[in-house]
Chain A
Amino acid sequence: MIERTTEKLTKQDFASDQMVKWCPGCGDHAILSAIENVFPQIGYKKEKFCVVSGIGCSSRLPYYLNTYGMHGIHGRANAIATGVRLFNRNLSVWIATGDGDSLAIGGNHFIHIIRRNLDVNILLFNNEIYGLTKGQYSPTSPMGKVTKSSPQGTIEHPFTPGELVLGAQGTFFARVIDTHPKFITEVLLEAAKHDGTSVVEMLQNCVIFNEGAHKYLTDKDNREDRQLILRQGQPMVFGKNNDKGIRLGQNGLEVVSLGDDNVTLDDILIHDMTRQDPGIHLMLAKMKPPHFPIALGVIRSADAATYDQLMDDVIATHIQSCPIHSVDDLLNSGDTWEI
């Protein structure tokens, strides 16, 4: 159990004294602010947070938060954090990583931490570009994207992070966007509450190398028609006039207009993030323009045993059943003889 705080913590308790060196206008500033807002709300003592990162712009995050923290090496944040959390179960572990760090060089660790369902929170900053190396395509860059390392456009099929998370048997997946900091705070609280690996994909704008990557979603005039904000137990309704919804048809999800063809609110899917079967969650995670809105919010939050708890249980049981309780016991176990 992580020790809870008795004092009232504020955003200021988590602000570091270091100069934040992200570019002016970078989406990371809003995300940092949302994290500073959410940590005091979680209720743990301020010494109980540990932020681990890999390499990339997003991975500078630990330096900008006044917590325990480690800035690791490229792709290995999830592996390092595994050791932190497994060894010290009294820490709330947060991982700052990006689309290059966790989906390219560290892809292996990403799928395995999720598969094990270790109780950590992964903040996956997705700007669809390599920023710190100055503008090469990433595993989430859309097909055909022209970058410095793909002057003729990429010829790679991009990952949809949610699809990867659910494919690895993820128990929590959410998606937020840097233009909506209040909503980030709300979703991060849900992530913190979830026992198991929580992955929050943070769609983030790189002003220098990929300006407008998420413009389709953030465009002021059309965003209500292009975003589906998911809320537990609520019908999946969206649109400027709240007149569109998601229905489960014979061939999967479909967008319907309320009132057309006698479509009523009863036809619209109710969001249940807790259902064990990930089928609908996968369909929601994969929804893409132009035919679908992009789903934001907690897509999946299902219960499953966590690796850390199972490891503790195995150790506790073995302490009861095994007669060896000290190294002296061990050294003298089995066949020994006097000379």
Chain B
Amino acid sequence: MMERRNDLMRSDLRENEEAYFLDIDLPGCAKDKIQAYVENEYLTVEADFRKEETAKTIRRERYAGRCQRRFYVGEIRTQDIQAAYKDGVLTLTIPKKAYERAEEERRITIE
């Protein structure tokens, strides 16, 4: 059962000369519970916030399930993207060179 929410995985997109940066809020998520991959020109980021209940919870506001978000990135490869998780934010870096390479590979050489 999926539902849309606009308060999870809030993301900023920024760029400088060399790359695009995607900052996604994923507070308190274990690194091994975050997955990111490129498939069919979309970058998909999945996060699993499920945790074992260790103490009695008297109020829950934080999201405690799985979530996923997709971004259209074009013809780049999973290995072109670098990812780092710090202070609860996942930052994905896509070097602009990845697009130049994709552009070149698209060309047909004329003998």
Q: Tell me if chain B binds chain A.
A: no
B interface list, Cβ under 8 A from A: none
